[in-house]
Structure 1
Amino acid sequence: MEHFFTIIGGMGTSATETYIHQLNERTPANSDQDYLNYILVNHATVPDRTDYILDHTKPSPLTPLLEDFKHQAALKPDFFTLPCNTAHYFYDELTKVTDIPILHMPREAVKWISKKLPTAKRVGLISTEGTRADHIYDDEIQSAGYELVLPDDKIQQQTTELIYGNVKEKNHVDRTLYHEILRQMFVEKGCDTVVLGCTELSLAQEREPYTMHPVTDSQSILVDKTIELALKSRSGVKK
């Protein structure tokens, strides 16, 4: 197969399914051959990223992820995508085992804010506790000149319940809970935009979209960037 990309997914599987659905839905296609070439590695048994980040005595996701990237790099994809925000904790280590580009989802999300929301100053973040602890988004948001707004303990507990208790455990989105989390971030915390820093939250946005204020959906942004790069690669073949 010529000019394809590899998706290292399965963290979690329902969220990866949302990424694939959006990817296929947004690809400009009028025939089977117009769709994109890709390989999906749905590695559902990768240990929980947050568990490890908060407690390094827990099983590490790094070893299986390194193996996935090594094996897939041998097939020579044009690039990799990693639709799991928390897994970007290992981004620098993963780039050491391959010269093939790996899209950086948090970085792409912050770039999107500068392009689409030029007046934004206060950028909120809702995510897993692991993503909060690893500061990946913090660094990207603050280095871009924004004021970072983090959830208080109540909002974080609600977010954790939505991610784990709803989506991961039941493949269900509590619309009232999801919208209340965002309402608090926008109205009570005064955010200009809120980054959905977990792909389960992106799944929630797809199923029960919040439209009262501008949400920065990291997975949706990754979908658009993936399509952009894949189409550029394919057009290069045709020249």
Structure 2
Amino acid sequence: MPMKNFFTVLGGMGTLATESFIHILNERTPIHSDQDYLNYLLVNHATVPDRTDFILGKSKEDPSSAIKEDIQQYAALNPEFFVLTCNTAHHFFDELQQATDIPILHMPRLAVEVANQKFAKKSGKTRVGLLATEGTIQTKVYENELEKFDNLEVILPSKTLQQDVTNLIYRDVKENHFCNEELFYQILQQMSEEFSCDVMVLGCTELSLVQEATQNKKYPVVDAQSELANETIRRALKNRI
């Protein structure tokens, strides 16, 4: 019997973050037997060129070409939808979606909608701190979504604090497989206290990985990867019915 009612995860950007997403997905799926888990294909395309390097002009290798090829290759198998687990890759979202009629979930949009639902004030603007790669920030992937809500104000880190975020993502998690809890909490504290943020959006899956490892509950965050997992489960269960 061929697999039916499945989705395809476009991962590998990076691999540890993809592994974290799959772990969360399986852990949150309501199950009583092996057959209750979700049907999905995992594409761990680890050799997709770095998204931030391309966006910042440090590399001429266009990652969107590789991702589009993945979409076209796996669209032939007719998944119900695609899940794109890299925040920075959403810079190319429109052209990726144009490559297929199969819907692709939009992680930044989901995260911003949750931030508005859970943290919007009754009066005045909610200060939403954005923690992400330099590529994601430069392309305004999240800012464009946040600006759709008049009551949300995007707060970006200072140049110095952004370097701390970049070090946590690239130096610690990507290069050394190290969830730097001390630096993570330091960043959240600064955004919360010095920048007066009401909530911080974790707009990078490496930050989501650290959030999962630390189980932070001290500082208010919206974890984009976590919200993507929730929406993936919701859709997959709905399609199963």
TM class, shorter-length: over 0.9
- Gap runs ≥5 in structure 1: none
The 3-state SS of whatever aligns with 1:194 is: strand
Aligned AA (1:52): F
CA drift at 1:25: 0.2
Q: Which residue of 1 aligns with 2:111?
A: 109
Out of 150, 158, 163, the residue aligned to residue 157 of structure 1 is: 163
Q: Pairwise CA RMSD of aligned residues?
A: 1.0
Give aligned-pair identity as a percent. 54
Residues 1:53 and 2:55 are matched in the alignment? yes
Output the CA distance in 2 between the equivalents of 1:167 and 1:96.
32
Q: Which amino acid aligns with 1:143?
A: K
Distance in 2, Cα, partners of 1:72 & 1:4: 12
- The aligned counterpart of 2:147 is 142
Q: Does 1:123 align with 2:128?
A: yes
* Distance in structure 2 (CA, Å) of the matches to 1:231 and 1:4: 10
Deviation at 1:117, TM superposition (A): 1.8
Residue 96 (structure 2) pairs with residue 94 (structure 1): yes
Cα distance in 1 for partners of 2:74, 2:149 equals 32
In structure 2, relative to structure 1, the CA distance for the partners of 1:169 and 1:136 (3 Å cut) is same
Deviation at 1:57, TM superposition (A): 4.9
CA contact (8 A) 2:53 2:59 kept: no
What is the CA distance between 1:210 and its match in structure 2?
A: 2.4
Of 193, 196, 205, the residue aligned with 1:187 is 193
Is 2:221 the counterpart of 1:219? no
Counterpart CA distance in 2 for 1:16 and 1:178 is: 20
Q: State which of 28, 31, 56 in structure 1 corresponds to 2:30.
A: 28
4+ residue stretches of structure 1 with deviation over 4 A? none
Question: Aligned pair 1:132/2:137, yes or no?
Answer: yes
Alignment of 1:39-50 (within 5 A): 39-50=41-52
Picking from 70, 73, 79, the partner of 2:72 is: 70
Whether the 8 Å contact between 1:110 and 1:144 is mirrored in structure 2 is no
- Contact kept in structure 1, 2:119 and 2:126, CA below 8 Å: no
> Partner letter of residue 183 of structure 1?
Q
Aligned length: 235
User: What is the CA-CA distance between 1:62 and the residue it aligns to?
Assistant: 1.0
Distance in 2 (CA, whole Å) between partners of 1:40 and 1:172 is 24
TM superposition shift of 1:118 = 2.9
TM-score between the two structures when normalised by the length of structure 1? 0.96
Residue 214 of structure 1: how far off its partner (Å): 1.3
- Give the aligned residue type for 2:134: E
Residue in structure 1 matching 2:181, options 162, 175, 180: 175
Trace 1:12-23 onto structure 2 (pairs within 5 A): 12-23=14-25
Distance apart, 1:170 and its partner CA: 1.1
